[in-house]
Amino acid sequence: MADSLNLALAQINPIVGDIAGNLELVRAARREAAAQGADLVIYPELVITGYPPEDLVLKPRLQQVVAAALAELAKDTADGGPGVLVGTPIVIDGKLHNAAVLLDQGKEAAVRLKYDLPNYGVFDEKRVFVPGPLPGPINFRGTRLGAMVCEDMWTQDVTECLQESGAELLVVINGSPYEGGKGDERLNLAVARVVESKLPLIYVNQIGGQDELVFDGASFVLNGDKTLAVQMAGWRAQVVTTRWQRDAAGKFACVDRTREPTIDGLEAIYHAMTLGLRDYVTKNRFPGVILGLSGGIDSALSAAVAVDALGPDKVRAVMMPSPYTSRDSLEDAAEVARLLGIRLDEISIGPAMAAFDGMLKPLFEGRAADLTEENIQSRARGVTLMALSNKLGHMVLSTGNKSEMSVGYATLYGDMCGGYAVLKDVYKTTVFELSRWRNQHLPAGGRGPAGRVMPERVITKPPSAELKPDQTDQDTLPPYDQLDGILACLIEKELGIAEIVAQGHDRATVERVWRMLDRAEYKRRQAPPGVKITRRSFGRERRYPITNAFVNSAAAAE
């Protein structure tokens, strides 16, 4: 029985499908942990494939490559250095499992299979994996470790089984994506497992962006008395070795007190957008991004996030004025570009508008101008950006926010063009808050300027698409503070109309917003991906039919 143990927590950023690259990340972290004196290195869930691999993990060839990588890694551990506990898919008796595998002293020492497969929200693991049995502890160099895989910690069954079968220390490997308030939820659940078992707990989470998901790391250690012994950094890769000693009663405790500051609120949202965009661009090997800079707040904030994520040399902006573009917007776009240090080109869409007017005039004869002409302007801008993207290789960054996407206040093949949308899960009211926050703070690791990133007028002027004279968003939409409150009730909370009205909202407005939300589903299906921020983002987390005759209001159904 070991009296002391050094356990390294490897909070790293794998790439889905890059088995060779991920193996090298694992090896690099092991070398770093060995230099810190670690006996064992603990990695996140499915670190060998990257998480989530989705249906990619079903490919027989990928499964073969993963098995070969595990065999190579096992050989590494014959060097007398630390063992490794890695998350990986594994095939046993023809069945594919999500597993924690212990490799030590040149061989596969133990395998524990994920028992509780999540199948809600962004997770659909039952689609690809088979659950394992309730696990027993792993014997590592004289210490019984209770290995759990992510969701196994969210209920008490696995913890209870491990505690009853003699585990001395709970080790949870995770691929837990960020959303607002998730850090507190994780910690509260971990505390509950510690209270039930009286065992200390190690929680290792991955870092990085993967399509819509972004992982914030923030790994931690709790002692058996519920005290927080170690808090690792959020939003950056890190390898931290923790020291463990047995007390007089023979129970293990972490003797370190290393606590990085926690990041939450607006700062966490900004980090999520920045990391999500950076990894989407770099992992997909784009040379940079290009976006339409209109002089409005959404494009200004999107540009700031892009510069902080990638650096000003990888961000290009285009101002595409029409006859309805105000002088203020021209000046504000130029000032945003100057403050951020990015290139700004100007391409008027006036000639395109005239060309479409001439092309369509015979068929539009006798019909008054309406939304059609407004959408042509937006689509002319989309065509311009896509042409520049094709020619230059830069990905088009879409600038629409969650409020607009919710109610369809966006033009298909126009302002919805793009490869990624950093504001897709950010309500307009939060866009205002984030813009004020960024004007006062440079986030850690940000590659943009330390001062202001947009003039105050961008934040204070009434939002407008500027597709016709004197237009504002509130000509079409309720005030954003009302709209966003109603949308949060409909989307995140799934409340009925009567329940929302009972919270003080006007019934006619609620019913109008619900109809707009319902009608816009077909647009959202065609929208680019964007980083998940809220409890319920559009895409894999909210799957509604486009053809849908359900009536949300009992009164409306009468």
Catalytically active residues, by annotation: 45, 114, 150
For residue 196, what are the CA distances in angstroms to 146, 193, 280?
14, 5, 40
The total of other beta-carbon atoms located within 10 Å of residue 111's CB is 17
Cα distance between the two ends of the chain: 72
Helix 297-310 × helix 327-340 angle, to 10° = 10
Q: Which of 127, 117, 187, 185 is closest to 152 using CA atoms?
A: 117
DSSP 448: S
Locus of tokens 């689609």: 127
- Assign residue 26 a region: left if phi > 0, alpha if psi is -120 to 50, beta otherwise? alpha
Q: Which of 329, 263, 336, 363 is closest to 467 using CA atoms?
A: 329
For residue 444, what are the CA distances in angstroms to 235, 278, 403, 449?
9, 14, 28, 12
Q: Which residues have a Cβ under 8 Å from the Cβ of 152 and sit 6 or more positions away?
A: 114, 115, 116, 158, 159, 172
DSSP 262: P
DSSP 122: T
Distance CA(40)–CA(10), nearest Å, equals: 10
Distance CA(72)–CA(90), nearest Å, equals: 15
Sequence-ordered strand ranges (E) for 12-142: 40-42, 83-92, 95-104, 107-113, 138-140
DSSP 545: -
My answer on whether omega of the bond before 52 falls inside 30° of 0, hence cis, is yes
Tokens of 422: 């950093």
Q: Which residues have a Cβ under 8 Å from the Cβ of 387 and sit 6 or more positions away?
A: none
The total of other beta-carbon atoms located within 10 Å of residue 60's CB is 8
Secondary element (H or E) of residue 43: none
The total of other beta-carbon atoms located within 10 Å of residue 253's CB is 18
Residue 36 phi/psi, 5-degree rounding, is: -90, 0
- Assign residue 142 a region: left if phi > 0, alpha if psi is -120 to 50, beta otherwise? left
Q: Which of 28, 20, 47, 9 is closest to 175 using CA atoms?
A: 47
Total residues belonging to the chain: 558
Secondary element (H or E) of residue 10: strand 4-11
